[in-house]
């Protein structure tokens, strides 16, 4: 483990998720394992972006608190370490939406309407977009800039938001003098794990494997997985490309040689789907077992989870207050 001073000198990371529910294996390999590694070299802030949830769903208030606990338990089980990193509850720090309001003075409505996620979301939800949805990326810019974060690890879909945060930093600095570093996106190069039906993995499609699933649920989902549709009999030559069975083996089976053997036999029509699925179920359950055990321990003590989140948020508060005070002063307030 690195010395805390050394970690701090390498710069600050801010990233986060909306607490929309328990995390799935796509989050684990695409995002969480990367966050866990980054803790070794950066001063990491992980944000529970509960205000952002309301931009697309403000009619189910009862869900939010439960989803926050589920998500934080998954983060910790995956290896997020609250002794080294700071967990922040967005809605507990009014500095975030306050900075959003101030940054809002520096951006046009037309610019926000051009953010690609805005139109996509509005279309997908079949809603007339709210002011809250339009200002989603300004709130995200505020999340990043309030901690003067230098690096923002995100998926590709979030790049337009980081780009806007960079613009906001530049515009603020030009007008009021050097204040914010221009945050850099750090995009994971790993291929995205497909859902068990080979579409994008997403809770709304019901095609996820959750970190909290039991081994039995996991096995059942694996046994029902989409494979190569061109293959009718086990003796037909199969395709391992664009076949989630093999995407998953590539992601989770540490025995590379075994994976290559399965691929060769599959291509040659020498192994059936069922045998590969049985192997995958075993591999996946083995991979997830220690994580699931930790998760059960965390979920059994929800008060401890809340305390961790509270103390992280307290640690963040001082920084957020200092930045906001600086910004208010530069903008002629207070």
Q: Could you give the CA distance from residue 186 to residue 190 in angstroms, rounded to a whole number? A: 12
Confirm if 269 and 232 have CB atoms less than 8 A apart. Answer: no
Out of 7, 14, 133, 259, which residue is the one contacting ligand TRP (CB under 6 A)? 14
Q: Any contact of residue 146 with ligand TRP (CB under 6 A)? A: no
CB atoms within 10 A of CB 302: 14
Q: Which residues contact 277 (CB under 8 A, 6 or more apart)?
A: 222, 223, 225, 227, 245
Q: What is the CA radius of gyration of the chain?
A: 22
- The helix or strand, by DSSP H or E, that contains position 218, with its residue range, turns out to be helix 215-223
| Structure letter (DSSP) for residue 269 | T
Q: Any contact of residue 148 with ligand TRP (CB under 6 A)? A: no
Q: Could you give the CA distance from residue 95 to residue 134 in angstroms, rounded to a whole number? A: 19
Q: Residue 209 CB, nearest distance to ligand TRP (Å)?
A: 20
Q: Any contact of residue 144 with ligand TRP (CB under 6 A)? A: yes
Instruction: Determine the 3-state secondary structure of 154 from DSSP.
Output: strand
Q: Any contact of residue 209 with ligand TRP (CB under 6 A)? A: no
Q: Residue 256 CB, nearest distance to ligand TRP (Å)?
A: 31
Q: Could you give the CA distance from residue 326 to residue 318 in angstroms, rounded to a whole number? A: 12
Out of 23, 24, 52, 212, which residue is the one contacting ligand TRP (CB under 6 A)? 52
Out of 80, 93, 112, 152, which residue is the one contacting ligand TRP (CB under 6 A)? 152
Q: Residue 226 CB, nearest distance to ligand TRP (Å)?
A: 26
Instruction: Determine the 3-state secondary structure of 13 from DSSP.
Output: strand
Q: Which is nearer to ligand TRP, 43 or 253 (CB)?
A: 43
Q: Which residue is nearest to ligand TRP (CB)?
A: 49
| Structure letter (DSSP) for residue 225 | -
Confirm if 45 and 88 have CB atoms less than 8 A apart. Answer: yes
Q: Residue 160 CB, nearest distance to ligand TRP (Å)?
A: 10
Question: For residues 154-193, which are near ligand TRP according to CB under 6 A?
Answer: 154, 158
Q: Any contact of residue 143 with ligand TRP (CB under 6 A)? A: yes
Question: For residues 103-142, which are near ligand TRP according to CB under 6 A?
Answer: 140
The interface region with ligand TRP, picked from 44-52, 63-71, 73-81, 282-290 by CB under 6 A, is: 44-52
Q: Which is nearer to ligand TRP, 27 or 292 (CB)?
A: 27
Between helix 136-145 and helix 116-125 the angle, nearest 10°, is: 130
Q: Which residues bind ligand TRP (CB under 6 A)?
A: 14-18, 47, 49, 52, 140, 143-144, 152, 154, 158
């Amino acid at each position: 483990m690195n010395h805390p001073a050394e970690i701090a000198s390498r710069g600050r990371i801010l990233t986060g998720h909306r607490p929309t529910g328990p995390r799935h294996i796509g989050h684990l390999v695409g995002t969480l394992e990367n966050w866990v590694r980054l803790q070794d070299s950066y001063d990491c802030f992980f944000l529970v972006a509960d205000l952002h949830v309301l931009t697309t769903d403000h009619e189910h208030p009862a869900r939010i608190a439960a989803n926050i606990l589920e998500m934080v338990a998954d983060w910790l089980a995956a290896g997020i370490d609250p002794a080294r990193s700071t967990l922040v509850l967005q809605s507990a720090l009014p500095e975030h939406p306050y900075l959003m309001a101030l940054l809002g003075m520096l951006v046009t409505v037309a610019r926000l309407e051009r953010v690609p996620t805005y139109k996509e979301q509005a279309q997908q939800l079949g809603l007339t977009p709210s002011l809250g949805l339009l200002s989603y990326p300004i709130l995200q810019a505020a999340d990043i800039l309030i901690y003067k974060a230098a690096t923002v690890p995100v998926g590709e879909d979030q790049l337009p938001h980081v780009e806007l945060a960079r613009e906001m930093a530049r515009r603020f600095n030009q007008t009021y003098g050097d204040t914010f570093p221009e945050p850099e996106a750090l995009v994971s190069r790993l291929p995205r794990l497909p859902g068990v039906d080979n579409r994008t993995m997403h809770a709304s499609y019901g095609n996820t494997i959750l970190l909290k699933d039991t081994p039995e649920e996991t096995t059942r989902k694996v046994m029902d997985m989409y494979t190569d549709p061109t293959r009718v009999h086990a003796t037909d030559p199969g395709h391992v490309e664009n076949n989630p069975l093999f995407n998953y083996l590539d992601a989770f089976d540490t025995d590379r040689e075994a994976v290559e053997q399965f691929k060769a036999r599959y291509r040659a029509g020498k192994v059936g789907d069922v045998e590969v699925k049985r192997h995958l179920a075993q591999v996946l359950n083995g991979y997830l077992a220690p994580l699931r055990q930790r998760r059960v321990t965390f979920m059994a003590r929800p008060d401890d989870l809340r305390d961790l989140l509270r103390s992280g948020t307290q640690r963040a508060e001082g920084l957020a207050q200092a930045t906001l005070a600086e910004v208010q002063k530069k903008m002629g307030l207070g």
